[in-house]
Structure 1
């Protein structure tokens, strides 16, 4: 089962505050564990939404919206794509993850649709 693991943005990440060297080292070690276990497929950190854009669709119309975007708790600061046997395994790995932010934070796990879902 493939899952996307989403690190939710915080006010700190949206302000562009870079992680400490200790956190970068801890996250690097965690990524090494994921790789060694054969779970990690991809991952990365995202720049704040002030550096991004959105495209809104309405019928044939397209509107480009410049960041930053509000609702910090609904924004994504980083992601992984993992191959796990089930959601319980993904949850177990997330529980081992260092806190990705300097304060309270959340990580969301979302399964990908697989071909069998459309049969």
Structure 2
């Protein structure tokens, strides 16, 4: 089971305030623990939405609309994420509870969401085979 720990943005993260050296080190230690346990898939921080682009689809079948950031609702925005692969929802919660306060000021908020697996989305054997092959190519590409 894969889960994404979504770190919600704050006014500071949207202002481009970088983590303190202490917080950076705490997050590095946490990510190393995830890696040693063999559950870490990816972990990244994101730049503020001042440099972001939002693409929306306002009409079914219509042309996509492009809007440059910044975006205003900080509570709706994402400052970073960690993707883990674990055996259960409970294990995902345990790992999420161990993450240091992602902003370091008591403002951190993490949303934990399970990632869909291909068999949950389609039962078409051909589509599933293509998905499995694509994931295998991506996995091979990511290895030295």
TM-score by length of 2: 0.78
2:9 is matched with 9
2:119 is matched with 116
2:133 is matched with none
Q: Which has the higher contact order (CA 8 A, sep 6+)?
A: 1
1:50-89 → structure 2 map (5 Å cutoff): 50-57=50-57, 58=59, 59-89=61-91
In terms of fraction of residues, the more helix-rich structure is 2
In terms of fraction of residues, the more strand-rich structure is 1
Where in structure 2 are there 5+ consecutive unaligned residues? 124-144
1:47 is matched with 47
Instruction: Report the CA distance between 1:94 and its aligned residue.
Output: 1.2
Q: Could you tell me how far apart the structure 1 residues matched to 2:100 and 2:51 are?
A: 26
Would you say how many aligned residue pairs link Structure 1 and Structure 2? 119
Instruction: Report the CA distance between 1:88 and its aligned residue.
Output: 1.0
1:110 aligns to what SS in structure 2? strand
Q: Could you tell me how far apart the structure 1 residues matched to 2:84 and 2:10 are?
A: 23
1:98-117 → structure 2 map (5 Å cutoff): 98-103=100-105, 104-117=107-120
Q: Could you tell me how far apart the structure 1 residues matched to 2:37 and 2:104 are?
A: 27
* RMSD of aligned residue pairs (Cα, Å): 1.1
Q: Tell me which structure has the larger Cα radius of gyration.
A: 2
Where in structure 1 are there 5+ consecutive unaligned residues? none
